[in-house]
Structure 1
Amino acid sequence: MAARLRVDAVLVQAVIAGALSFAHLHDLAAAAGQDGWKAWAYPISVDLLLVAAWRRLRSDGPSRLAWCWFLIALFASLGANVATAGFLDLADPPALLRLGIAGWPALAFLGGTLLAHTASHQTPVPPAPEPTSEPVTAPEPEAEPEPAVPPAEEAPALPASEPAPAVPAVLVDHARKVADEYRTRTGAPIDTDTLRTRLGVPPHLADAIAAQLA
Structure 2
Amino acid sequence: MARPAFRVDAVLVQAVIAGALSFAHLHDLAAAAGQDGWKAWAYPVSVDLLLVASWRRLRSEGPSRLAWCWFLIALVASLGANVATAGLLDLQQVPAWLRILVAAWPALAFMGGTLLAHSATDHPAPEVPATTPEPEPVASPEPGTLPAAVTEAEEAPALPAADPLPEPKPEPTAPAVQPAPAVPVALVDHARKVADDYRTRTGTPIDTDTLRARLGVPAQLAHAIAAQLV
If the TM-score is normalised by the length of the shorter chain, which range does it land in?
A: 0.5 to 0.7
Map 1:75-94; keep pairs closer than 5 Å.
75-94=76-95
* Distance in 1 separating the partners of 2:122 and 2:27: 37
Find the aligned partners of 1:76 and 1:122 in 2 and give their Cα distance: 28
| Structure 2: distance between partners of 1:73 and 1:46 | 6
1:119-149 CA-to-partner distances (Å, cap 9, x unmatched) read 1134789xxxxxxxxxxxxxx99x6599xxx
- What TM-score does the superposition give when structure 2 sets the normalisation length? 0.51
Q: Which has the higher contact order (CA 8 A, sep 6+)?
A: 1
Q: Please state how far the C-alpha of 1:72 moved relative to its aligned partner.
A: 0.4
| Structure 1 position 61, deviation (Å) | 1.2
Cα distance 1:32–1:6, how it changes in 2: closer, same or farther (>3 A)? same
1:88-103 matches, cutoff 5 A? 88-103=89-104
One-letter amino acid of the structure 1 residue matched with residue 11 of structure 2: V
- Contiguous gaps of at least 5 residues in structure 1: 126-139, 147-214
Please tell me whether the aligned partners of residues 64 and 122 of structure 2 are also in contact (alpha carbons under 8 angstroms): no
Residue 43 of structure 2 aligns with an amino acid whose one-letter code is: Y
Does residue 68 in structure 1 map to residue 51 in structure 2?
no
In 2, Cα distance between the equivalents of 1:79 and 1:87? 11
Q: Take 2:10 and 2:80, find their aligned partners in 1: how far apart are those partners?
A: 26
Q: 1 CA distance for matches of 2:6 and 2:47?
A: 30
Residue 57 to residue 74, structure 1, CA distance change in 2 (3 Å): same
Is the Cα contact below 8 Å between 2:47 and 2:74 reproduced in 1? yes
How many percent identity over aligned positions? Answer: 78
TM-score by structure 1 length? 0.55
**Aligned 8 A contact 2:55 2:67 in 1:** yes
CA distance in 2, matches of 1:102, 1:21: 19
2:57 alignment partner in structure 1 = 56
- Please name the residue that 1:42 is paired with: 43
Q: State how 1:90-129 maps to structure 2 within 5 Å.
A: 90-122=91-123
- Matches of 1:119 and 1:111 in 2, distance apart? 14
Q: Matches of residues 23-42 of structure 1 in structure 2 within 5 Å?
A: 23-42=24-43
What is the CA RMSD across the aligned residues, in angstroms?
Answer: 2.6
* Shift of residue 67, structure 1, vs aligned partner: 0.8
Displacement of 1:63: 1.1
Larger radius of gyration between Structure 1 and Structure 2: 2
CA distance in 1, matches of 2:19, 2:80: 14
Residues 1:59 and 1:31: Cα distance change in structure 2 (over 3 Å): same
Distance 2:118 2:27 in 1: 29
CA distance 1:18–1:66, shift in 2 (3 Å): same
- Distance in 2 of aligned mates of 1:145 and 1:19: 102
Instruction: Give the Å deviation of 1:37.
Output: 0.8
Q: Is the alpha carbon distance of 1:144 and 1:113 closer, same or farther for their aligned partners in structure 2, counting shifts above 3 Å?
A: same
Q: Which runs of 5+ in 2 are unaligned?
A: 127-155, 163-230
Aligned residue number for residue 209 of structure 1: none
- 1:23-57 deviation digits (Å, cap 9, x = unpaired): 00000000111011100000000000000110111
Aligned residue runs from structure 1 range 113-152, under 5 A? 113-122=114-123, 144=160
Amino acid at match of 1:26: H
